[in-house]
Structure 1
Amino acid sequence: MRWGLRPSGPGAAALAAARNLWVQPRPSCRPSWRGTTGRLSVRSVTGASNQLQNSRNGSYRDTVLLPQTSFPMKLLGSQQPDTELEIQQKCGFSELYSWQRERKAKTEFCLHDGPPYANGDPHVGHALNKILKDIANRYHMMRGSKIHFVPGWDCHGLPIEIKVLSELGGKAQNLSAMEIREKARSFAKAAIEKQKSAFIRWGIMADWDNCYYTFDGKYEARQLRIFYQMYDKGLIYRSYKPVYWSPSSRTALAEAELEYNPEHVSRSVYVKFPLLKPSPKLASLIDGSSPVSFLVWTTQPWTIPANQAVCYMPESKYAVVKCSKSGDFYILAADKVTSVASTLGTTFEVISTFSGVDLESGTCTHPLIAERASPLLPANHVTMTKGTGLVHTAPAHGMEDYSVASQHSLSTDCLVNEDGVFTDAAGPELQNKAVLEEGTEVVIKMLQAANNLLKEEELVHSYPYDWRTKKPVVIRASKQWFVNITDVKTTAKDLLKKVKFIPESALNAMVDMMDRRPYWCISRQRVWGVPIPVFHHKTKDEFLINSQTVEHIAKLVEEHGSDIWWTLPSEQLLPKEVLSQVGGPDALEYVPGRDILDIWFDSGTSWSYVLPGTDQRADLYLEGKDQLGGWFQSSLLTSVAARRKSPFKTVVVHGFTLGEKGEKMSKSLGNVIDPDVVINGGQDQSKEPPFGADVLRWWVAESNVFTEVTISPSVLRAARDDVSKLRNTLRFLLGNVAGFNPETDSVPVNDMYVIDQYMLHLLQDLANKVTDAYKQYDFGKVVRLLRAFYTRELSTFYFSIIKDRLYCENAKDPKRRSCQTALAEILDVLVRSFAPILPHLAEEVFQYVPYAKEPKSVFRTGWIKTSPIWKKPGLEEAIEGACAMRDSFLGSIPGKNAAEYEVILVIEPGLLFEIIEMLQAEETSSTSQLNELMMASQTTLLPREPRTLTPDVMERRGTFLINLEGGDIREESAYKVIVMPTTKEKCPRCWKHTAASADALCPRCADVVGGQ
């Protein structure tokens, strides 16, 4: 090389540093540069080599080394799903889990599968969840960990029971508890089989022969023991409290079983509560001769018969006002005077104001029962956002109301039964009327008759509904079993600080939901579930539960399943020693309770049954965001209650699947996408073509799963196009490593072409970034990195440059072997990078690797392997500097064949010239590495402009900034790119314009053909 331009001084030192960075691996210090064209150019170019594949009819076609592979370019129609099934068989998908469990591994990775609900067909929500889990598992397995992943199903509960009963119609009323349980079990089993076969088809690797089911006797027994552990610690208790009650399901519901209907219409009312006995302060403010009433607003008039008090905010200001229309006197919050008067269509004159605390010890009259007094009581839950600043309090029908009743010993009697109907205790006018329908109407009429109704109006607001029946719920006091989460919350929140949440915002969301939960009602009044193992006294309000009774029941359940609670006589459900203490078999005083456990308690105790080892903590829980208030929470609370430990180390939370326009998926909207149709195609395959499971998996991986995830035919077509482009890239790689054996033909890295070394440098960067993205469960980033690499760096840039070298050099020429060495490494890294996402394609590619003695499984041969010697930041200066000039050249001949032009690069003497000179030793060349990069007929490199140029030349100028060693070496150099049509003829073999005459081979091709 001609090094003589700057023989001494700082330039020489800089060049030495650049060479050093080029040849030896260094710590990463990715150089930045500033040129006229920005970052590495990937401008597509028409070159002679691009046309070579069409040159087979030429007289030299047999001397050209075109790609050779039987790997199909496309799988049309049903070929895609058929090939995937074939690959699953051939590559042992079903044995992979057991294979990796048996191998020696230093680490274990445990992903605990949150159980999907066994009551329907597999849907895209299942696909999103299971595929995300599988990608994580396959990645960790390839990294060398032993995977623990036991799939499970949530099999009990109201939704299944309701579905079974609705299918039976009128016959359901005559069914016994056992008949309902048998039908529910059959229904759940059928749903499990459908879902399981779908999950297997999606390529999910798991212990499919040893799944966990919440209706399995051993699982149920473990759950009962956890229940007793918590009961024994005083964390589970029975109490009469208001709970969310579903009249349509006739059972208590937990917060997680509600959905809020924003379009619910309530009949809100403004009601007068006449003052009965004023507090001393209030007595001094009002004229005793004028009647005064407290003004109260409620959206649930049906609760007024159960009123026990009116609450106020002690710190707030209240006012006595006179109504301009009626002349009546009212008391309400001072801040609400104007807005309430406006709502009532009147004006209020403020007579006097006072502090809320001045109402203490006063009473008012119940608006429907004149002989009943309702005390005025202070309460912190009173707000000024809506209403009048005074709150009607019915302890049987509100959580805060109940809390007030507990402090002040108020009655908590409930006037509403399990069907949501007023009982006899509500009086003859209300008896047997549904509270949310006719009952509300009658209460409003009674208020009118008592002259205590000021206004009624419809209010559209968000209201809780039963998540399965889609009917409104009520709050109703009843005797239920509760978990005292107040005692567990503090520890749970402390433990959550040590858990990694992805995204981080999910932690606060989970803590907020826990804080809003006053207690957890775990009893349900149904039959399809695990019984609460308690015996109730026949005549007294007493119950029987102790370690002996629970262990006896747990053993029976372990052996026979929980049906025993309904099939065995009571005396057999109790151990003999306890039976003798409670009246013996003939005069037994206790009967089995009829409540079952909340299914969130069912699934929430899965950690105790599924997680391995004594620690019983999973590395990962990965579910949808609805589980922040559901399974994540019930798992945490039961685990903390039983053993003061979190059951998870990392929690990944994904969004829901939505339609193309961001709308919720529903059958009524017709936007539901069936994963089976995505894979195998629909009835009309022109409209619903078969995409195969890998396209479904690519869609999952590329989505930003930490928000809502959209799916539609257009989204799936885009995913298919991505996978098709990847497939073509892989075909090029496979075709061009034909006849190459890495063991014998590889070229040492430092002897490779600079562009090939540069690709290995980029490949190592890709491998590091991809690995890091998998570690963070950011599979969308993995897809973006891969897509950019195979479309930009490979297909558009590198492949277009190397085709001439691959096709037209001698098969064993070191230049060609250098390229094949890079291609073999690229193929291996690329396939391993996408294998967790596209397992079928990865295994298919490995069947076609020409130098593999016998095809190996990608998943049985480990993760990406790179070499530190690939890392050469200095190479970027050489390649990216040349690319800046290449971009200027190609930009001056848009759409033209670069091989028909000569290019002169004029670079001012300095570091840039020295670096570019490494790519071309001689002044002018048609075979140098620099000319290969330019794809021109020939390239000339000069330190100054030539004296004479033909008039038809095109010129472009630019500058390039070299920045090495973190800024220690910086130099900006000017360059000029001079472009002119070549005077050479097109070679009939390589089609480059490098031949002396039209019928003669160029010197390079003459050498190759002569050698052959």
Structure 2
Amino acid sequence: MLTLLRCREALSRYTWRARAASGLTNSNHERSGQGKYRETVLLPATDFPARRETDSELRVQEESQFLQLYNWQRARKTKKEFSLHDGPPYANGDPHVGHALNKIMKDITNRFHMMKGYKVSYVPGWDCHGLPIELKALADLGVEAENLSAVEIRQKAKIFAEKAIEKQKASFVRWGIMADWDNCYYTFDPKYEAKQLDVFYKMYDKGHIYQDYKPVFWSPSTRTALAEAELEYNPQHVSRAIFAKFPVQTPPPKLASIIDGSSVVSALIWTTQPWTIPANQAVCYMPDTAYSLVKCGNTGERYILAADRVDSTALALGTKFEVLATFKGVDLENGTCIHPTIPGRSSPLLPANHVTMAKGTGLVHTAPAHGIEDYSVASHHKLSVDCLVDESGCFTVVAGTDLANKAVLSDGNETVIQMLLGSKNLLKEEDFIHSYPYDWRTKKPVIIRASKQWFVNTANIKDKAQEVLKKVKFVPSSASSRMLEMLDRRTYWCISRQRSWGVPIPVFYHKETGQPLINRHTIGHIIKLVEQHGGDVWWTHPLEDLLPKSVLKQVGGSADVTDFEPGREVLDIWFDSGISWAHVLEDAEQRADIYLEGKDQLGGWFQSSLLTSVAARNKAPYRNVIVHGFTLSEKGDKMSKSVGNVVDPDVVINGGMDKLKEPAYGADVLRWWVAESNVFTEVQIGPGVLNSAQDDINKLRNVLRFMLGNLNGFVPERDAVTSSEMFVIDQYMLHLLQDYASKVSDAYKGYDFGKVIRLLEALMTRDLSSFYFSIIKDRLYCEEEKNLKRRSCQTVLAEAIDIVVRSFAPILPHLAEETFQYLPNRQGTDGVFRTGWIKPNSIWKKPGLVEAVEAACSMRDAFLGSIPGKNAAEYDVTVVLEPGLLFELMETLQPEQTSSSSQLNELLMSSRTTLVTEMPLDLVAEASEIDSSFLINLEGGDICEEETYKVIVQPSTNQRCPRCRKFTTSSALTPCPRCLEAIAGKWSQ
């Protein structure tokens, strides 16, 4: 295929030669017969295309065996191991640019380490359970979905997940991601589920998992408990906030003297959730805070509230308060209030540390069934935690006939407000805009609701988790403190879900007592069944199979199998994915070198992985955590289909329906975008960004094409020049390349791929194109083919293209392999990735080498700066130096006094260069003189001298050579001596 392709590209090769040759001639020269020398010039020749062809990446993947690369590197004999554990993307939709950002970052990291000689472990995975998949799988069934059995729901959900996985996997492969695609992990795989249940029991056995009746985030729209990582916060949510009275029933003893009972005194509260008032069990205060008894200017009523909230509350109520007394919160101890909506019920005044003065009145209505802090108060003071709200978010019949079956976030809320109004305990009701949690799947508000759930006791694990986390390296480092803060705020982790599509919680419940049955015998049996048949056994097998008499006998006691029933809850998907370390890492004690995900996983997968690993084996599952930002549109907006700013990575690669509007950029453009972006903040993408990336890659291709073209016919093993024979400027270029290679390696090690791009672009544009290539073109084109001078710079080009291609190979694997396919005299079939990273070479770090060339460059800058926009070859340059170190350095570049072919002359690009210690006397009137200096720094600063010099520029007195175009001949019709020597015996006039 490659041979055929090169035949097809023969035309492009011919066109480039003709165009390059035309640069050495013009119509006047053609008429004068001087164009006849054109064919003697050694112009670049290569079939490497200047632009990427549409199918070139797929061809490169096939010919370079991208799909076989992972297994090849795993089979290598090396003791160096590198493990990047793949955080599983969710199998609920098409691939998107967030996937591209994440997977490409991982691939760049893996390819670099593989080239450095590591045996890379990277097993891709997918998170396959959970409500989003269940909802999408059933979306088209409508009402019919309500009549499906759990098994039918699971079957449809699995089919949906499998389709999403295949589509995502195909895209990841197309992006050039190197991975173990034949052995991916899936959270619905029977072996994975069995391992998950094993970790679950280990945590249970250690006391880290327990069942309790607690308030949790609850989604009425999906009828299930939610983890904090499954919440989105809507900053524009509108709640109906109220100020309400809790009349004092029993005055606090310490305040008996100021509350005489002759008039009613009320504790004043403010809440954004009026529907929770019926579940009130207490009113809380802050013990050390000052509180006031005030008299309302409008009604004469007396209220108790925090002293700091008196003025703001009066303003909100449209009145003025007269402060009658001020006292400490602790003085409210042992007081009770009348419940504002339920006659005959009282609410005690209780101290609590969660009370704040930022909003409200400094007194907090406390409903233990509907608040995390409220529950803590209830636990401490033995209060009731009765929940009056069902799974669909409606009041139960226990709430009373006025409230029963009404949704708490709508009709139920309104009814409670009317009840407060009826009892004359409502002071004010108003709309309040604030940030409020929503279900991330349905985009509908959630509530906090008490229910019996399974929990991970993070309080048991938190200290150890924070201790081991401090030893983990984070990039960027600021992510570490953010995750530590999140852990510190986490009170408990609800891991049970009331759904069908997930891993069953392997617990049996006694039908009469409701007590759970779980131990090593029951769980061991279930694990074996799940490993053989998958989690479906929990729904498909009869109870006698799930809990055989033989297992129940091991448990002990006189209970019969029929006394139990299997629970129908499944594990939280964050627990699903959080134990992936146990399934993927080969050794039970192993830690991954890298976890690399988006910043949202600081509260998600990074955290669930840490908690499960610490709970089960007392260590973190990772050594390093890399955290990237989110993808945004080119304008910095969140992507939305309705807005029309969504960027589809497959369209980026293959193009859209209208190729003019949506051209096919290819995978390497997508990969360049990832690498050049500041991935640790938000990453923008759009047509402008992609066009810019394509332009950058095209510039890179042109540089590669120049080097490939000028290496035509060069065989390194035969033609390479030793360092002792090499031009100083060529040695200097190799020095720059080694310095570049060192810096690029460090950038990759620091996961700073943007720096790799910046270093590459600087090398391409500044050091190679603008500097080195412009200097050596004359040698490449006009010296005799095998001349030592030409072979010297070809030796550099061979080294340069090797270093450059290897340096960008992890980012642009398709271009790297394609470039290697066009190397002249390519030896063997091994590509870039199978032949390793850049090999360091200290031979080019010679004393005085850098100083000599940089001093000459200083003189070159002075010379070129004096003739802006003019051809340097039209001028003679004289450099005047005092005898000394700088003069000696220049003599290494030009031993003779005057030369048109010395290394100094080549660097200056002038017609002729003269090196003297005194000012010449025969200067022409047009000569210009530039004074300058250069600081010489040798041997680490031991030798440090600043020496002055003069650059004298005057028009050349020679004619332009018809072959090399330099002003080095006495007649415009006759080639210069150098050119005559180059063509001698090979061409006759």
Q: TM-score, normalised by structure 1?
A: 0.93
- State the one-letter code of the partner of 1:625: K
Q: Secondary structure at the match of 1:816?
A: helix
Rounded Cα–Cα distance in structure 2 between residues aligned with 1:50 and 1:719: 31
Structure 1 residue aligned with 2:172: 199
Structure 2 residue aligned with 1:966: 940
Q: Is the 8 A contact 2:579 2:613 kept in 1?
A: yes
Rounded Cα–Cα distance in structure 2 between residues aligned with 1:586 and 1:769: 71
Matched, 1:696 2:673: no
Matched, 1:275 2:275: no
Structure 2 residue aligned with 1:881: 855
Rounded Cα–Cα distance in structure 1 between residues aligned with 2:21 and 2:677: 37
TM-aligned CA distance change 1:646 to 1:361, over 3 Å:
same
1:427 equivalent among 400, 405, 409: 400
Q: Is the 8 A contact 1:846 1:855 kept in 2?
A: no
- State the one-letter code of the partner of 2:23: Q
Deviation at 1:784, TM superposition (A): 0.9
Q: Is the 8 A contact 1:582 1:588 kept in 2?
A: no
Q: Secondary structure at the match of 2:837?
A: coil
Matched, 1:546 2:530: no
Q: Is the 8 A contact 2:217 2:225 kept in 1?
A: yes
Rounded Cα–Cα distance in structure 1 between residues aligned with 2:615 and 2:574: 15
Structure 2 residue aligned with 1:58: 35
Matched, 1:128 2:101: yes
Q: Secondary structure at the match of 2:717?
A: helix
Matched, 1:163 2:140: no
Structure 2 residue aligned with 1:330: 303
- State the one-letter code of the partner of 1:1007: E
Rounded Cα–Cα distance in structure 1 between residues aligned with 2:339 and 2:534: 52
Structure 2 residue aligned with 1:67: 44
Deviation at 1:929, TM superposition (A): 0.5
Matched, 1:374 2:344: no
1:824 equivalent among 763, 786, 798: 798
Deviation at 1:67, TM superposition (A): 1.1
Structure 2 residue aligned with 1:293: 266
Rounded Cα–Cα distance in structure 2 between residues aligned with 1:855 and 1:789: 28
Q: Secondary structure at the match of 2:827?
A: coil
Deviation at 1:642, TM superposition (A): 0.5
Instruction: Point out the more displaced range, 179-188 or 957-966.
Output: 957-966
List per-residue Cα deviations over 1:805-831 (Å, max 9, x = no partner): 011111111111111111111111111
Rounded Cα–Cα distance in structure 1 between residues aligned with 2:561 and 2:761: 76
- State the one-letter code of the partner of 1:737: L
Instruction: Point out the more displaced range, 805-814 or 524-533.
Output: 805-814
TM-aligned CA distance change 1:186 to 1:180, over 3 Å:
same
- State the one-letter code of the partner of 1:356: G
Q: Secondary structure at the match of 1:52?
A: coil
Q: Secondary structure at the match of 1:59?
A: helix
Q: Is the 8 A contact 2:936 2:945 kept in 1?
A: yes
Rounded Cα–Cα distance in structure 2 between residues aligned with 1:575 and 1:463: 47
Deviation at 1:586, TM superposition (A): 8.0
Q: Is the 8 A contact 1:49 1:803 kept in 2?
A: no
- State the one-letter code of the partner of 1:372: R
Q: TM-score, normalised by structure 2?
A: 0.95
Q: Is the 8 A contact 1:758 1:872 kept in 2?
A: no
Deviation at 1:425, TM superposition (A): 1.0
Q: Secondary structure at the match of 2:429?
A: strand
> 1:421-460, aligned counterparts within 5 Å?
421-460=394-433
Q: Secondary structure at the match of 1:382?
A: coil
Q: Secondary structure at the match of 2:979?
A: helix
Task: Point out where structure 1 has 5 or more consecutive residues left out of the alignment.
Answer: 1-47
Structure 1 residue aligned with 2:466: 493
2:67 equivalent among 94, 101, 109: 94
List per-residue Cα deviations over 1:89-146 (Å, max 9, x = no partner): 1111111111111111121111111100001001111111111111111111111111
Q: Is the 8 A contact 2:506 2:526 kept in 1?
A: yes
- State the one-letter code of the partner of 2:721: V
> 1:633-648, aligned counterparts within 5 Å?
633-648=607-622
Deviation at 1:353, TM superposition (A): 0.5
Rounded Cα–Cα distance in structure 2 between residues aligned with 1:750 and 1:760: 13
Structure 1 residue aligned with 2:892: 918
Rounded Cα–Cα distance in structure 2 between residues aligned with 1:893 and 1:447: 89
Matched, 1:307 2:284: no
Structure 1 residue aligned with 2:3: none
Q: Secondary structure at the match of 1:858?
A: coil
Deviation at 1:50, TM superposition (A): 10
Q: Secondary structure at the match of 1:859?
A: coil
Instruction: Point out the more displaced range, 887-896 or 714-723.
Output: 887-896
Structure 1 residue aligned with 2:10: none
Matched, 1:779 2:753: yes
Matched, 1:751 2:725: yes
Q: Is the 8 A contact 2:874 2:967 kept in 1?
A: yes
Deviation at 1:953, TM superposition (A): 2.0
1:527 equivalent among 493, 500, 516: 500
Structure 1 residue aligned with 2:211: 238
Q: Is the 8 A contact 1:905 1:942 kept in 2?
A: yes
Structure 2 residue aligned with 1:946: 920
List per-residue Cα deviations over 1:753-775 (Å, max 9, x = no partner): 11100001011101111111111
List per-residue Cα deviations over 1:845-901 (Å, max 9, x = no partner): 111111223342111111101311122363221111111221121122222111111
- State the one-letter code of the partner of 2:962: P
Deviation at 1:506, TM superposition (A): 0.9
Structure 1 residue aligned with 2:448: 475
Structure 2 residue aligned with 1:38: none
Q: Is the 8 A contact 1:49 1:804 kept in 2?
A: no
Q: Is the 8 A contact 2:549 2:561 kept in 1?
A: no
List per-residue Cα deviations over 1:234-266 (Å, max 9, x = no partner): 110000000000000100000000010001000
Rounded Cα–Cα distance in structure 1 between residues aligned with 2:390 and 2:22: 81
Rounded Cα–Cα distance in structure 2 between residues aligned with 1:847 and 1:405: 73
Q: Secondary structure at the match of 2:347?
A: strand
List per-residue Cα deviations over 1:660-693 (Å, max 9, x = no partner): 1211112112111111111111111111111111
TM-aligned CA distance change 1:302 to 1:587, over 3 Å:
same
Pairs aligned (count): 961
Instruction: Point out the more displaced range, 590-599 or 869-878.
Output: 869-878
Rounded Cα–Cα distance in structure 2 between residues aligned with 1:978 and 1:438: 93
Structure 2 residue aligned with 1:37: none
TM-aligned CA distance change 1:468 to 1:836, over 3 Å:
same
Q: Is the 8 A contact 2:927 2:954 kept in 1?
A: yes
Rounded Cα–Cα distance in structure 2 between residues aligned with 1:261 and 1:800: 59
> 1:279-678, aligned counterparts within 5 Å?
279-579=252-552, 588-678=562-652
Q: Is the 8 A contact 2:25 2:35 kept in 1?
A: no
Structure 2 residue aligned with 1:814: 788
Q: Secondary structure at the match of 2:201?
A: helix
Q: Is the 8 A contact 2:251 2:259 kept in 1?
A: no
Q: Is the 8 A contact 1:582 1:590 kept in 2?
A: no
Deviation at 1:399, TM superposition (A): 0.4
Rounded Cα–Cα distance in structure 1 between residues aligned with 2:865 and 2:598: 49
Q: Is the 8 A contact 2:78 2:117 kept in 1?
A: yes
Structure 2 residue aligned with 1:904: 878
Instruction: Point out the more displaced range, 655-664 or 190-199.
Output: 655-664
List per-residue Cα deviations over 1:938-964 (Å, max 9, x = no partner): 112222322242221233222222222
Rounded Cα–Cα distance in structure 1 between residues aligned with 2:531 and 2:417: 54
Q: Which has the higher contact order (CA 8 A, sep 6+)?
A: 1
Q: Secondary structure at the match of 1:132?
A: helix
> Equivalent pairs: percent with the same residue?
68
Q: Secondary structure at the match of 1:750?
A: coil
Deviation at 1:413, TM superposition (A): 0.1
Rounded Cα–Cα distance in structure 1 between residues aligned with 2:949 and 2:343: 99
Rounded Cα–Cα distance in structure 2 between residues aligned with 1:828 and 1:165: 54
Deviation at 1:585, TM superposition (A): 11
- State the one-letter code of the partner of 2:216: V
Instruction: Point out the more displaced range, 360-369 or 59-68.
Output: 59-68
Task: Point out where structure 2 has 5 or more consecutive residues left out of the alignment.
Answer: 1-19
